[in-house]
Amino acid sequence: MSNEFHIEVNCYQRNHVGERICGDVFLHRKVKEENRIIAVLSDGMGHGVKANMLATLTSTMALNFTIEHQDMVKIAEIIMNTLPVCSERKTSYATFTILDIEIGGRVNILEYDNPQAFIIRENTLMDPEWEYVVLDSEKNQGKELHRCSFIPEKGDRIVFCSDGITQSGLGPGRFPEGWGRDAMMDFVLNEITSHPELSAADLGERVVKKALQHDNFEPKDDTSCGVVYFREPRKLLICTGPPYDENKDAEYADRVRLFEGKKVLSGATTGDIIAREWEQKIEDSYDFDDPDLPPISAMEGVDLITEGILTLTKVSNILKDYNIQTALDKGPADRIVKMILESDAIDFIVGTRINIAHQDPSLPVELEIRRTVVKRIAALLEDKFLKEVRISFI
């Protein structure tokens, strides 16, 4: 991760009205060993299952070939040659936008037939000097690609979408030719001018919901908006478990005190150690917001105190099943998940003293040792949510 900024990547989507599956497919992956993030949005012809299959094939190929550093024009040719030909239109068809982001380095974008992405810097449109490439192979002669390359700066945003956004409202009435890219761009610029810290997730959601309004919330196409936001990282510290050696308690408390960001203590013993070392008092709550877990506690200097292993196990389960429809409640695990999702860099400090209570063989199997649960959460955060995660043991 660059010391300069965090890279937030998100895509908000809505299906064609009446369809249970989206014909747009968004994939992204962090290539940790190369310090790269690859993101792909593909729009399959039509909608429903057939469109989803075309878009899945396209986005998967685009993602894998880009990871392998294949030439971008060659990637496009391979994809177009591989797609099945539509029996009605006699053409193989799925659009794509590919973003290859070197963390702390250059961004490369390749597009075929999606609305052209735009880059926003200091609340104005930035021209990255797009290059237009016309294919001359026999099968794809005349097809046009757009590509660009630039070095991002803190505060930059890349906004890309499927044509369900730009063609929303198409037909008689307010938008005879659809909402259009220019009007969408004006909307985006207005939103970020009014809300300078707007996250990638929230901006994508606002664009899609605006497009849905144009179709009276019955979208006539699959509708997707992706956003990449280069910004100051939001940091979260989660501490769980007492140090192996009691002589480390003061060091533990100092690390929590000096951390710049939000702080969660997960475990009664953990909370007691920090409270004792800080000479603070823990205030217990008696609101059982989650019947499966003990209530939260509070103390000056930290944002949340919860029970330990049960709560973190539930955090892991929520993250594993999390998707755009997931509604988070007020329970302790839900609160931690919400804080995690609002953060970019998550630090775990894991105490390694054995808790005798959890060695009881009659307790549920889910009570795994602390380290295993934290490692599972960390893997989910890195792979599924592209978070920057560090674990240290004490």
- Tens of each residue's pLDDT in the chain, 394 residues: 344 688 999 999 999 999 999 999 999 998 988 989 999 999 988 888 989 999 999 999 999 999 999 888 888 888 888 877 666 655 558 899 999 999 889 999 999 999 999 999 999 999 999 999 998 887 788 889 999 999 999 999 999 999 999 999 998 878 888 999 999 999 999 999 999 989 999 999 999 999 999 999 999 999 999 999 998 889 999 999 889 888 999 999 999 999 999 999 999 999 999 999 999 999 988 888 889 999 999 999 999 999 999 999 999 999 999 987 888 999 999 999 999 998 989 999 998 876 555 555 544 443 457 888 999 999 999 988 889 899 999 8
- Note the residue count of the chain: 394
**Extended strands (E) in 69-207:** 94-102, 107-112, 118-121, 124-126, 131-134, 144-150, 157-161
**How high is the pLDDT of residue 150?**
96
CA–CA separation, 348 vs 265, rounded Å?
Answer: 10
Give SS3 for 158.
strand
**How high is the pLDDT of residue 364?**
44
Helix, strand, coil: what percent of the chain each, to 5? 35, 25, 40
**How high is the pLDDT of residue 32?**
84
**How high is the pLDDT of residue 85?**
65
Helix pair angle (48-67, 72-82), 10° resolution? 150
The amino acid occupying position 391 is I
CA 24, distance to chain mean position in Å, is 17
All domains in the chain, ordered by first residue = 6-231 (3.60.40.10), 235-393 (no CATH)
